[in-house]
Amino acid sequence: MKHTLPDTATMYKALLQKDSTFEGVFIAGVKTTGIFCRPTCTARKPKQENVEYFGTAQEALQLGYRPCKICQPMSYKGEIPEWLRPLLAEVNATPGIRLKDVDIKQRGLDPNRVRRWFQKHHGMTFQGYLRTLRIGLSFGRIRYGEKVIDAAFESGYESLSGFTESFKNMTGFSPNKSRHRDLITTTRILTPLGPMLAGATEQGICLLEFVDRRMLETQLKRLNTLLDATCVSGTHAHFDLLHLQLKEYFTGKRKTFTLPLNIPGTAFQQSVWEGLRMIPYGTTRLYQEQAEFLKNPKAIRAVAKANGDNRIAIIIPCHRVIGKDGKLVGYGGGLWRKQYLLEHELEHKAN
């Protein structure tokens, strides 16, 4: 079953602009060369009339196209490359580790290459990434009773003032307030529909949104207020399970999610979000039907608004609610993504 693609004008514009949010959405086949590419390929762009579009690399291969050697469309874009995995494994196994450029060279890696990868995929340098991990670790220690000065020195800081300044710059509050505040750890997760921003607290996943959603910044500010927390980039135990279950979902192997969630909201919002999770995989409901399911048939607009306030896409499947005439309406990630998700679920429903 082929997925519905965005219109050709949108896809050609994405191809020209090397728009990474369209990674996994389409593959561009160049008729004059017989090669197919990712939307982000850096090769010279063909004329619009010489391009045809496919939903998957497999479709392009079936029509005789060959994968581009520059953008390598047969690999999963953005996955941790083999050359970087040993370094990240060492970082994850050694909390608080400090590595300078000379240390990276000793491990057979080019520090500039490492830095470029982290800038591209995390929006920070590798050193910045390590600092974020150290501050996050210190936050946990202080929150559960360790003295600030002990956490500072155990994190490798040579002075309490230097630690305090770094901590405040990253979190927005001083270390001694850690016992009364929370951190939302955020990371980017790559999906066939483009990158998503995930957020987690100790209680569970509290955010999963496409990074190009217009209301994302507003959602983050609202979430910070609701949880009395600050967002910090880094790693979290919940992200491993999230990444695994999303991969299983997009390959058709998973129909329900078993992740712990942290979704603050009003009692009405909570009931709407719980109702969304009860819509069976591969099916849809009208907004009217959803209001009736919640035993509040006159609250159609309120239900629609609560759907829009959902901060955890896919897992809380607001994409399964459609308009009265069956049209796709009201999806913050874009209607083309909503179409893709519904078609994907319908295709794998019987599996």
Q: How far is CA 92 from CA 86, 129, 134, 171, 278, in A?
A: 10, 12, 11, 21, 36
Q: Which helix (H) or strand (E) element contains residue 14?
A: helix 8-17
Pairing state between β 285-286 and 321-322:
parallel
Cβ atoms of 165 and 153 closer than 8 Å: no
Distance CA 239, CA 237 (A): 5
Task: For residue 79, give both structure tokens.
Answer: 């996955």
DSSP annotation of 261: B
In the numeric block, the tokens 């581009």 are attached to 68
Nearest to 168 by CA among 159, 154, 178: 178
DSSP annotation of 218: H
| Number of Cβ within a 10 Å radius of residue 333 | 22
Q: Which residues are marked as active site?
A: 37, 318
| Number of Cβ within a 10 Å radius of residue 261 | 18
User: CA 351: distance to chain centroid?
Assistant: 26
Give the CA-trace dihedral at 118, 157, 180, 172, to 10 degrees: -50
Distance CA 171, CA 135 (A): 9
In the numeric block, the tokens 């000379």 are attached to 102
